């Protein structure tokens, strides 16, 4: 009921395919991070889902129905598209009031989301006087208005201060824990890993990965330990017997590829080799993500 | 089709949008202020100078102010639609009312009803306020054509607002629409229209304003003239509907 189904979704602008044969699901009860370089098609996918743009082919549905066919759309789906999707001449409160009227919601609800997003004190100011972070909070307020089971948030942390980023992270985790579907786009893997349970990665309109966060970390980061020992010679022999190789690192420490700290610690203890320092080292998540999308970035700076 | 008609919530939402923007609400108030105000001021200044000092057709002279009021009506109609093309406002609106036909009809209906109410008040206020300064040359309500002019002037202003609203939905810019329409009604139509008859009599403002004339010079009567204006407005509204339905938001 609260899931999102994307099937063979394609959107062509002229001859350019912004979204190209995408298929994936967004399931309730977890936060799904939606990643991809600039122009990958994240925002386009969200617009197609809301019926704002027309798909060239394929379907995007919510609980099996097109957004257009939902009888009570604001109560089913809340969307933050981009922070600019509001007329600057209106006050924040009026912006939410016309949405609430369209969704048959009481005025009380408007004041609730204004409080919840921390912009109640500026509610009667015109939106054009808002900072990017304030607009972003207004957009989040609009998305939350109908208490929807599905949330689409396009770069919600854009422009938020650190306190705001922590707040939205907690908010999204809380919404997912209540059984809602939360799809959140971002450019940063490190940021996304702080709140997402699942990952969908796009590159040039195509699906590059659809995996749980944990699997992504396991599969994409190579295992390696870093250690200090007073007896590298015996350790090298002991490791070689197990098929591992001790390599000198530049700071006087040693590294071993393809092994976990736990495994190496046990081995050293069995052999009675003193190990002074031992830690797992993972290729950074951000690096793993960049490697994945490297060939699919449309816009890259030339050095 | 039934499923796409405006609903109470969609109309309520459109009303909030209009009243919450200075430009649109101001345009609506300006319809009354410009038409009746300029009428009264002009009548006070020159109305009693001599017979026919405000124009040879006394009924049309009683609606001199409509030339200005129609511009306010255009500003209102164009503004109500163009506000959707400001930033990504349309996306938010369509997320709330995803059926585009319903969204568009709700907006057009709200613009139409507000313009009609304001127009009717304006029609009467202009007549009363203007004639109060005309002294011995004043018309009285009940004189030939006066009731028709009171009601018809309000309808004319409504159709002008709808004409501008529809065109704005086609061209997606209020600025473009107003910079086409305002010079058109102020200049082109005045100049071309002086040669009565011919094709010029079918121009929207020429045809529509016949409803406040007492003498007809071309092929159209007061109501058929307003009917021609209604066709223009209807075509613009239809074009706007096709554009809103077809385009990506
Ligand atoms: N209305 C449009 N007309 C033409 N091309 C478009 C339109 N909207 C998007 N595109 C193109 O579609 C591609 C995908 O854009 P989209 O905005 O979906 O990317 P994105 O993943 O959201 O990027 P970003 O991270 O920069 O927000 C881009 O190449 C963009 O130029
Ligand atoms: Mg984007």
Q: Please count the structural domains in chain B.
A: 1
Retrieve residue B88's tokens: 């990504």
pLDDT tops 70 at residue B227: yes
Domain assignment present for residue B116? The answer is: yes
Asked whether residue B1 is domain-assigned, the answer is no
Structure confidence by residue, pLDDT tens digits, A228-251? 999 999 999 999 999 999 999 888
pLDDT tens figures, A2-46: 999 999 999 999 999 999 999 999 999 999 999 999 999 999 999
**Cα-to-chain-centroid distance, residue B26:** 14
B52 touches chain A (CB under 8 A): no
Of residues A79, A90, A142, nearest to B20 (C-beta): A90
pLDDT mean across residues, chain B: 91
CA distance B94 to chain A (A): 7
- Could you tell me whether strands A198-203 and A57-62 are parallel, antiparallel, or unpaired per DSSP bridges? unpaired
CA distance B228 to B240: 19
Q: In 3D, which of A170, A194, A172 has the Cα closest to residue A183?
A: A172
Is residue A285's pLDDT more than 80?
Answer: no
Which CATH code, of 3.80.30.20, 3.50.50.60, 3.40.50.620, 3.40.50.300, is assigned to A4-212? 3.40.50.300
Measured from the CA of A202, which atom of ligand 1 is nearest?
Answer: 21
- Is the CB of residue B149 less than 8 Å from the CB of residue B212? yes
> Token pair for residue A143?
């998305």
Q: Is B16 on the interface with A (CB under 8 A)?
A: yes
Which residue owns the Cα nearest ligand 1 atom 4? Answer: A13
Fold of A222-280: Alpha-Beta Plaits (3.30.70)
Residue A222 has pLDDT above 80, yes or no: no
Instruction: Measure the CA angle with vertex A135, ends A133 and A140; round to 5°.
Output: 95
Flag if B83 and A50 touch (Cβ within 8 Å).
Answer: no
In the structure, what pLDDT confidence band is assigned to residue B199 with cuts at 50, 70 and 90? confident
Asked if the structure places residue B188 within a domain, the reply is yes
Is the pLDDT at A281 greater than 80, yes or no? no
Q: How does residue A282 score in pLDDT terms, banded at 50, 70 and 90?
A: low
Domain that holds residue B86: 7-246
B73 pLDDT exceeds 90? yes
* Pure H helices in chain A: 42-49, 73-76, 92-102, 107-116, 132-144, 162-177, 189-193, 213-220, 232-242, 261-271, 285-293
Q: How far apart are CA B35 and CA A151, in angstroms?
A: 49
Which stretch of A135-144, B40-49, B119-128, B173-182 has the lowest confidence by average pLDDT? B40-49
Asked whether residue B38 is domain-assigned, the answer is yes
Cα A244 to Cα A36, A236, A255: the distances in Å are: 36, 8, 10
Confidence at residue B185, expressed as pLDDT on a 0 to 100 scale:
83
Residue of A nearest to B23 (CA): A89
Provide the pLDDT for residue A12.
96
Among B14, B22, B98, beta carbon nearest to A51: B98
Distances from the Cα of A64 to the Cαs of A60, A71, B29, in angstroms? 9, 13, 47
Whole-number Å distance, alpha carbon A124 to ligand 2 midpoint, is: 29
**Minimum Cα–Cα distance from A48: chain B residue:** B248
Mean pLDDT of A82-98: 91
> Residues of chain A with pLDDT > 90: what percent?
78
Q: Determine which of A57-61, A97-101, B95-99, B139-143 has the lowest per-residue pLDDT on average.
A: B139-143
Distance CA B209, CA B200 (A): 13
- What pLDDT, on the 0 to 100 scale, is given for residue B196? 53
Helix, strand or coil for residue B49? coil
- The 10 Å CB-count burial string (b at 16+, else e) for B201-227 is bbbbbbbbbbbbbbeeeeebebeebbe
List residues bridging with A212 in a β-sheet. Answer: A198
Residue B30 counted as domain residue = yes
Q: What angle do CA B100, B101, B106 make, to 5 degrees?
A: 100
| Rounded CA separation A207/A292 (Å) | 11
Tokens of A218: 């396991």
Instruction: Output the pLDDT for position B88.
Output: 85
**For A48-76, how does the pLDDT look when each residue is reduced to its tens digit (9 = 90+)?**
999 999 999 999 999 999 999 999 999 99
The pLDDT, as a whole number, for residue B219 is 85
Task: State how far the Cα of A6 lies from the Cα of B115, in Å rounded to an integer.
Answer: 44
Looking at every residue in chain A, the average pLDDT score rounds to: 92
CB B229 within 8 Å of CB B208: yes
Count of C-beta atoms within a 10 Å radius of residue A250: 5
- SS3 assignment for B140-204: CECECCHHHHHHHHHHHHHHHHHHHHHHHHHHCCHHHHHHHHHHHHHHHHHHHHHCCCCHHHHCH
pLDDT tens, position by position, B7-49 = 999 999 999 999 999 999 999 999 999 999 999 999 999 888 8
- A125 Cβ under 8 Å from any chain B Cβ: no
Angle between the N-to-C axes of helices B66-82 and B146-171, in degrees from 0 to 180, rounded to the nearest 10: 30
Nearest-atom index, ligand 1, CA of A155: 27
| Cα–Cα distance, A10 to A19 (Å, whole number) | 5
Inter-chain contact A88–B20, Cβ cutoff 8 Å? no
Phi, psi of A60 (to 5 degrees): -135, 115
Q: What's the pLDDT score for residue B129?
A: 92
d(CA B190, CA B68): 13
- A111-128 burial code (b ≥16 CB/10 A, e <16): ebbbeebbbbebbeebbe
Delimit the CATH 3.30.70 region(s) of chain A: 222-280
- Indicate the pairing of strand A181-186 with strand A150-154: parallel
CB contact under 8 A, A89 and B87: no
Residue A92 confidence (pLDDT): 97
Is there a contact between B249 and A102 if contact means CB atoms under 8 Å apart? no
Domain presence at residue B2:
no
Q: How far apart are CA B88 and CA B216, in angstroms?
A: 47
A39 CB near ligand 1 (under 6 Å) = yes
pLDDT > 80? residue B195 = no
């Amino acid at each position: 009921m609260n899931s999102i189904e994307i099937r063979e979704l394609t959107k062509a602008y002229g001859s350019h395919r912004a979204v190209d044969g995408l298929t994936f699901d967004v399931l309730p009860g977890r936060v799904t991070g939606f990643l991809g370089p600039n122009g990958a098609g994240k925002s386009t996918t969200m617009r197609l889902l809301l019926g704002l743009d027309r798909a060239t082919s394929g379907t995007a549905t919510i609980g099996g129905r097109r957004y257009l066919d939902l009888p009570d759309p604001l109560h089913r789906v809340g969307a933050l598209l981009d922070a600019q999707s509001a007329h600057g001449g209106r006050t924040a409160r009026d912006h939410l009031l016309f949405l609430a009227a369209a969704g048959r919601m009481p005025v009380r609800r408007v004041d609730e989301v204004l409080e919840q997003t921390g912009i109640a004190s500026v509610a009667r100011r015109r939106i054009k006087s808002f900072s990017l972070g304030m607009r972003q909070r207004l957009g989040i307020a609009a998305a939350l208005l109908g208490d929807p089971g599905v949330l689409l948030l396009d770069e919600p942390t854009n422009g938020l201060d650190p306190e705001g980023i922590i707040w939205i992270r907690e908010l999204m985790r809380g919404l997912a824990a209540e059984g809602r579907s939360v799809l959140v786009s971002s450019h940063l893997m490190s940021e996304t890993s702080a709140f997402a349970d699942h990952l969908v990665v796009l590159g040039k309109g195509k699906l590059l990965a659809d995996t749980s966060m944990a699997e992504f970390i396991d599969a994409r980061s190579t295992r390696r330990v870093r250690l200090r020992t007073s007896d590298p010679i015996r350790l090298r022999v002991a490791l070689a017997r197990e098929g591992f190789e001790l390599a000198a690192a530049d700071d006087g420490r040693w590294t071993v590829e393809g092994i976990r700290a736990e495994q190496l610690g046990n081995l050293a203890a069995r052999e009675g080799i003193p190990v002074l320092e031992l830690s797992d080292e993972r290729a950074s998540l951000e690096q793993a993500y960049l490697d994945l999308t490297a060939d699919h970035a449309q816009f890259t700076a030339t050095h | 089709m039934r499923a796409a008609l405006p609903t109470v919530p969609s109309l309520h939402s459109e009303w909030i949008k209009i009243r919450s923007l200075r430009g649109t609400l101001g345009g609506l108030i300006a319809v009354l202020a410009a038409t009746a105000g300029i009428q009264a001021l002009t009548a006070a200044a020159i109305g009693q100078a001599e017979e026919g000092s405000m124009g040879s057709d006394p009924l049309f002279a009683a609606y001199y102010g409509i030339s200005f009021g129609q511009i306010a009506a255009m500003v209102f109609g164009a503004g109500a639609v163009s506000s959707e093309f400001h930033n990504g406002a349309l996306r938010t609106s369509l997320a709330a009312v995803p059926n585009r036909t319903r969204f568009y009809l709700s907006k057009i209906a709200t613009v139409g009803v507000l313009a009609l109410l304001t127009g009717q008040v304006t029609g009467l206020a202009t007549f009363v306020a203007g004639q109060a300064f005309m002294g011995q040359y004043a018309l009285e309500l009940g004189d030939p054509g006066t009731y028709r002019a009171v009601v018809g002037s309000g309808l004319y202003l409504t159709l002008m607002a709808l004409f501008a609203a529809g065109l704005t939905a086609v061209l997606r810019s209020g600025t473009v629409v107003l910079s086409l329409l305002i010079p058109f009604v102020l200049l082109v139509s005045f100049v071309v229209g002086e040669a009565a008859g011919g094709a010029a009599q079918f121009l929207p403002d020429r045809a529509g304003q016949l409803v406040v004339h007492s003498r007809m010079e071309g092929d159209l009567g007061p109501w058929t003239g307003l009917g021609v204006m209604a066709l223009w407005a209807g075509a613009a509204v239809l074009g706007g509907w096709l554009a809103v339905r077809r385009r990506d938001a």
